[in-house]
Amino acid sequence: MADNIGNKPIVFFDGVCNLCNSIVQFIIRHDKKERFLFASLQSEKSKEILSNFNFTQSDIETIILLEENKLYFVSTAALKIVRHLNFLCSLLYIFIIIPKPLRNYVYRIIAKNRYKWFGKKDSCMVPSHELKNRFID
């Protein structure tokens, strides 16, 4: 478990989704300042943290960002994450100007089909020894 949670933003993701795991790997590669921590939505620690925000996980179809004691969902979470990555990735933040309902509509189509299109693991990803301090159990 990451001992340095502090005020670091936490990215909550579907730990059995191949697409979601690829996105986490992408974030790690482009997060040179190691700004983000990660937690699988299936973990007990995630449930514990998110319960402090009156959030229940009835359906895991979105990435969630906890930043500055506020939760962000769907496309807003994704765009807020890329904003803090390297320069080229941060340029994607321009899509924040697209109306939220339209952004979320496209996001939800991908989320709804992610297992069919990208596959699913039997269990959550296990981070390497080098990355273990970036993940919350």
Backbone angles phi and psi of 132, in degrees to 5: -55, -35
Tally of CB atoms within 10 A around 38: 21
Residue the block writes with tokens 């496209």: 106
Check if the beta carbon of residue 66 is closer than 8 Å to that of residue 49. yes
The 10s digit of each residue's pLDDT in 68-126 is: 999 999 999 999 999 999 888 889 999 999 999 999 999 889 888 887 888 877 656 66
Element (H, E) at 43: none
- Domains of the chain: which residue ranges? 10-134
Helix, strand, or coil here: 12?
Answer: strand
The 10s digit of each residue's pLDDT in 3-36 is: 446 689 999 998 888 888 889 999 999 998 999 9
**Confidence at residue 113, expressed as pLDDT on a 0 to 100 scale:** 86
C-alpha neighbours within 13 Å on the C-beta side of residue 52: 9
Burial of 44 (0-12, 13-18, 19+ CB in 10 A): exposed
| Euclidean distance between CA atoms 23 and 34, whole angstroms | 15
What band does 64 get if pLDDT is binned at 50, 70 and 90?
A: very high
